[in-house]
Homo-oligomer: A and B are copies of this chain.
Amino acid sequence: MPIILKSMVTLSEENYLKAIYHLGKQGVNAVSTNAIAEKMDTKASSVTDMIKKLAEKNLVNYIKYQGVSLTKEGRLTAASVVRKHRLWEVFLVEKLQFSWDEVHEVAEQLEHIQSKKLVNELDTFLEYPTHDPHGDPIPDKDGNITKTDKIILSQLQVNQRCMCVGVNDSSADFLKYLDKHHIALGTQIQILSKEPFDESLTIKVDDVVINISKVVANNIYVKSQTL
């Protein structure tokens, strides 16, 4: 029986796998070199180099000029990194006094800590959370996520009620905007009217009426309360 050594994955490789994982979840079959380069804020030539290395390690399927997709092993590795990232985000918000716009940068570092026991114990300590502070699902040990049926706020009809369950943009600027208007996970929102010209929405948040742009409405995930 051959000894299978789980090949070492470097920090940089983990980041590439994570980028491909996120880009691939948009229902795309193969992810393009340029898309990865843009996401990673690097050059296409660097991406090609790394892709070759990942293909060599059987973490991605790669055909020249045709983009990449994750192998089963690559997907599991990426999911493990995402799992750690989101668990740490929960830790930072729930146990330390971080707000949801402060966690990303630190979680980007913590997600690379290697220790199975650490992840398992952290999961237990946090009482097995299923979602991170932005409403994103936390993959389980096998990389599976229970996807919830969330829709984009801008797709709701006038007069519908809903609850905020996530955000599509987790940038600090956007999250601070939401804080300013008292929109958080669990907040009740009602669509009062939609402006035909710019598709901005007038909504009611906790009895306060505010106006939000289409861009904002496109980045808030909600669960419809009435159908």
Q: Are A122 and B96 in contact (CB under 8 A)?
A: yes
Q: Please tell me which one of the listed residues B102, B121, B122, B124 contacts residue A117 in the complex, with CB atoms under 8 A apart.
A: B102
Cβ of A92: which chain B residues have Cβ within 8 Å of it? Answer: 118
Within 8 A of B (CB), among A79-119: 92, 95-98, 102, 105-106, 109-110, 113-115, 117-118
- Considering residues A92, A96, A124, which has the most beta carbons from chain B within 10 angstroms of its beta carbon? A96
User: B117 contacts A113, CB within 8 Å?
Assistant: no
* Main secondary structure on A side of the interface with B: helix
Least distance between A183 CB and chain B CB atoms (Å): 24
Whether, in the assembled complex, A125 has its beta carbon less than 8 Å from a beta carbon of chain B, the answer is yes
CB pair A109 B98 closer than 8 Å: no
Known: A96-B118, A98-B117, A110-B113; 11 extra A-B contacts, CB below 8 A, are A95-B125, A96-B117, A96-B121, A96-B122, A96-B124, A97-B124, A102-B117, A105-B115, A106-B115, A106-B117, A109-B113
> Is there contact, CB below 8 Å, between B109 and A114?
yes
Q: Which residue in B97, B109, B113 is a CB contact (below 8 Å) of A106?
A: B113
Complex: how many Å from CA A121 to CA B94?
Answer: 12
- Residues from chain B with a CB closer than 8 A to the CB of A95 are 125
The number of times this chain is found in the oligomer is: 2
Bound together, the chains give a CA A209 to CA B55 distance in angstroms of 60
Bound form: Cα–Cα A125–B106 in Å: 17
A95 and B117 CA atoms in complex are apart in Å by: 13
Distance in Å from the Cβ of A96 to the closest Cβ of chain B? Answer: 4
Are A121 and B106 in touch, CB under 8 angstroms?
no
- How far is the CB of A84 from the nearest CB of chain B, in Å? 12
Q: How far is the CB of A118 from chain B (nearest CB, A)?
A: 6
Q: In this complex, what residue of B is CB-closest to A97?
A: B121
Complex Cα–Cα for A110 and B114 (A) = 10
